[in-house]
Copies of this chain bind each other. A is one copy, B any other.
Amino acid sequence: MVINYPNGQPFKESHSALKKTRTQNTIYGNRGMSLEDEINESNKYYLEHGIAVIHKKPIPIQIVDVSYPKRSAAVIREAYFKQASTTDYNGVYHGKYIDFEAKETKNKVSFPLSNFHKHQVEHMRACQKQGGICFTIVRFVLSSELFLLPADIIFEYWDNQESGRKSIPKKVIKDKGIELDYGLEPRIPYLEGVDCLISNHKF
């Protein structure tokens, strides 16, 4: 049977959803896994081992129409994506409130501030004022380098955008951020970076 997409285009085996299913059970370095998948897996590890309780928030949507077919689950028939008013991940670790974003960039030399929305930066600022630990996990896709970038650095560059610089140089991220190495379990041991922040008396 030939399966076509609704637009009539032929169905290809390399469809990303299939790829995802395939890589879920096998670890081939980080090939095929998105940063989000890797963080979700790490959070699962942290949760199952009683180390931390950190979850990705669901995508906020505006539901317009729901149908209730007989004898089956309610189906959302019309909904729209809403802009999130917070960051993607939050939770609790060693009594501390943890709040972060995960971002990838193909840029080689810097991390563009266009990766953030104003309200996300404001959210991190508000959380940090309450004693929360806020940061961004930044992945430089082309070099597979991974950093925990404390929110303070983001605020500094965000507030100075007027001066013309619209990105954080990778050099600054290397100097002031914490480099994370990929692990087996968890895939991204980012709480080690958080430990660094805590032991540096930043929190």
Contact = CB atoms under 8 A, between A and B. Distances in A.
Interface of A: 6, 47, 50, 52-53, 55, 57-61, 63, 65, 73-82, 84-86, 90-97, 99, 123, 126-127, 129-132
5 closest residue pairs by CB, A with B: A95-B131, A92-B97, A58-B60, A76-B79, A92-B132
Given A74-B81, A77-B78, A96-B97, 9 more contacts: A52-B130, A58-B61, A58-B84, A61-B76, A76-B76, A76-B78, A76-B81, A92-B130, A95-B97
A86 B55 CA distance: 8
Given A58-B60, A79-B76, A80-B75, A95 B65 contact: no
How many copies of this chain? 2
A52 to B, nearest CB: 6
A53 B94 contact: no
A39 to B, nearest CB: 15
Interface of A is mostly: mixed
A77 B63 CA distance: 10
A131 B81 CA distance: 34
